[in-house]
Every structure is written in C-alpha cells, then in structure tokens.
Amino acid sequence: MDGIATTDDPIAIFEAWMAEAAASEPNDPNAVCLATCTPDGMPSARMVLLKGVDPRGFVFYTNLESRKGGELAANPNAALCFHWKTLARSVRVEGAVEPVSEAEADAYYASRARTSRLGAWASKQSRPLESRFALEKAVAEYGLKYAIGEIPRPPFWSGFRVLPQRIELWRDMPFRLHERRVFHRDGAGWRIETLYP
Ligand SMILES: Cc1cc2nc3c(=O)[nH]c(=O)nc-3n(C[C@H](O)[C@H](O)[C@H](O)COP(=O)(O)O)c2cc1C
C-alpha cells in the first residue's frame, strides 16, 4: 500500500492536499496552470487561481474575451496542472469545460475587492495595451461610473468549471521513483490505475 490512495474519491484527496498546501505554501496555494487548445490543436497555457472545487469539478474565473476565453469557446476542453513545491506533489486534471451559472459568477464577483471588480471592467484582457496610463485611466473612469451603488458583473467576465474525466495525483518519492495514481471517470465512479513514474 502506498501513500496516495486513502480513499477512491480523487476529489476528496485533492481537497485534503489543497488544505495541506494552504498551510505550507508561502502564497497562492490555489494557483494552477490552465492549458487550452485551438480547434486545430495549438495549445496555450497560463496560470489562474482555482476558486472552487466540488464533485462536479474545478472552477476558475476570467475574461471571456481573453485568449483563453476564445480558445475555450472554440474548443471547450482544458487541462489543469497544480504543483505544490512545499509538498512535492502535483495534480493533473483533464476534461470538458462548461460555464458556471450566472448566479455562481455573480456571487464570486460580488466577493471580490472593489478595485478588482473595477479592474475586471477596465481590462480588455489579452488585447494590446497602448500604455499603463490607459489601464489606470480606465479603472478611474469605471470608479466614477460606479461610484454609487453596486458594481455589476461585466457581461464578458465569468467562470468555467473543468469537468474531470481524468485526475492524476503525483507524489515525489526518493530516487525519482515517484508515485502516480490516475483516476479515470467511469460512470458515476472512477477506474483507478497506477503508472510508472
Ligand atoms: C498566480 C497567478 C494567478 C492568476 N490568476 C488568474 C485568474 O484567476 N484569472 C485570469 O484570468 N488570469 C489570471 N492570471 C493571469 C493569467 O496567467 C494570464 O496572464 C491572463 O489570464 C491572460 O491569459 P490569456 O491571454 O491566455 O487568456 C494569473 C496569473 C498568475 C501568475
């Protein structure tokens, strides 16, 4: 018996690992590399922050008109790769993505700091920026526009849920004889296999 599989539920193991990472990582334990792909197979990867996980999947938020947003609209599949240096552990997730509900996106947007909410309005994420001043001016203008009352969620800003078809839990072991446990979605449950490192 090795150290990874304390249960046959990979989401429960992930949540336990994330709790350990939250206690040991110096910052952003929820940072994760998100890979998307164009329909003709060109991949791209960037970091995002995981903002929710439950048995349905893994949630992050972004600008829908960004590069990743465009790639996900054209090809709604993604991969996530977590790496926690302090734990020497990694988790890989692959699956289709679906938009979170409007209510879920509204609730998360409302929880963000005021300037972050204004920043979501001001940033034309992934498009060319003529100057830093242009960005700061846009934040200031939206600050004036929404000086009174609630700041609505921009229609171009929301979240995605990665619906896991495959979850791999990886644990560092001496002499690079690492442990790899893969969970493949199988109906309502998971088919489990172990891979050579
Ligand atoms: C640690 C970290 C966390 C980030 N979190 C997010 C995030 O949650 N959402 C987001 O849109 N961008 C986030 N970013 C910025 C992205 O990495 C990226 O620059 C941006 O989303 C544009 O990516 P794209 O042009 O591929 O769409 C984060 C960057 C870092 C380094």
Task: State if residue 66 touches ligand 1 by the CB under 6 angstroms criterion.
Answer: yes
DSSP string for residues in 147-189: SSS--PPPTTEEEEEEEEEEEEEEE--GGG--EEEEEEEETTE
- What pLDDT score was predicted for residue 33? 99
Task: State if residue 34 touches ligand 1 by the CB under 6 angstroms criterion.
Answer: no
144 located within any domain: no
Pocket test for ligand 1, best of 25, 48, 124 (most atoms within 8 A of CB): 48
142 is in an annotated binding site: no
Q: What is the pLDDT along the chain (197 residues), one digit of tens a residue?
A: 356 766 799 999 999 999 999 999 999 999 999 999 999 999 999 999 999 999 999 999 999 999 999 999 999 999 999 999 999 999 999 999 999 999 999 999 999 999 999 999 999 999 999 999 999 999 999 999 999 999 999 999 999 999 999 999 999 999 999 999 999 999 999 999 999 99
Report how far residue 163's alpha carbon sits from residue 127's, in angstroms, rounded to the nearest whole number: 28
94 located within any domain: yes
**Which residue range(s) make up the domain with 180?**
10-111+155-195
User: Which are the catalytic amino acids?
Assistant: 176
Helix spans in 28-157 (H): 67-74, 102-111, 114-122, 132-145
Report how far residue 103's alpha carbon sits from residue 89's, in angstroms, rounded to the nearest whole number: 33
- What pLDDT score was predicted for residue 30? 98
75 located within any domain: yes
Task: State if residue 49 touches ligand 1 by the CB under 6 angstroms criterion.
Answer: yes
Q: Which atom of ligand 1 is nearest to the CA of 47?
A: 17
- What pLDDT score was predicted for residue 170? 98
As for how many domains the chain has, the answer is 1
Whole-number Å distance, alpha carbon 36 to ligand 1 midpoint, is 13
Return phi, psi of residue 150, to 5°.
Answer: -70, 150
- What pLDDT score was predicted for residue 44? 98
* Domain CATH code at residue 49: 2.30.110.10
- What pLDDT score was predicted for residue 7? 76
Instruction: Take atom 14 of ligand 1 and give the residue whose Cα is closest.
Output: 48
47 is in an annotated binding site: yes
